[in-house]
Amino acid sequence: MHANVYMDVSLANPHMGAQVREVLRNVLAWCPFDKLLYASDGIGISELHYLAAVLFRRYIARIAIDWVSDGAWNANQAKRVIDAIAHANAERLYGLA
């Protein structure tokens, strides 16, 4: 593990539409949760930022619901992981917290 290496999920989001769910699922399976950052990759028009946020929220929630239903996570773990990716990891990395 490299201490200063992080990953964001911006390339897939918003450019892949419904495939974002599978990309997020794979990233969550391989990357440590404390090393993941949300990013919109909404270059250009502001609507891309909005679309990216909507897709991220929709699909990360669906993945969390699936994994809680399967017993892989409990509700508290799901909330902690989503909060970490959505904002807490970036706050820690950039000294904003």
pTM over 0.85: yes
Q: Is residue 1 part of a domain?
A: no
For residue range 10-58, what is the model confidence (pLDDT) as tens digits? 866 667 777 878 888 999 999 999 999 998 887 788 888 888 888 889 9
Upper half-sphere CA count for residue 7 (Cβ side, 13 Å): 17
Q: Which domain holds residue 67?
A: 7-93
Query: Cα–Cα distance between 19 and 13 in angstroms, integer?
Result: 9
| Within a domain: 66 | yes
pLDDT in tens, 66-94: 999 999 999 999 999 999 999 999 999 99
Looking at the domain assignment, is residue 47 inside a domain? yes
Instruction: Look at residue 7 in the predicted model and tell me its pLDDT.
Output: 92
pLDDT class for 3, splitting at 50, 70, 90? confident
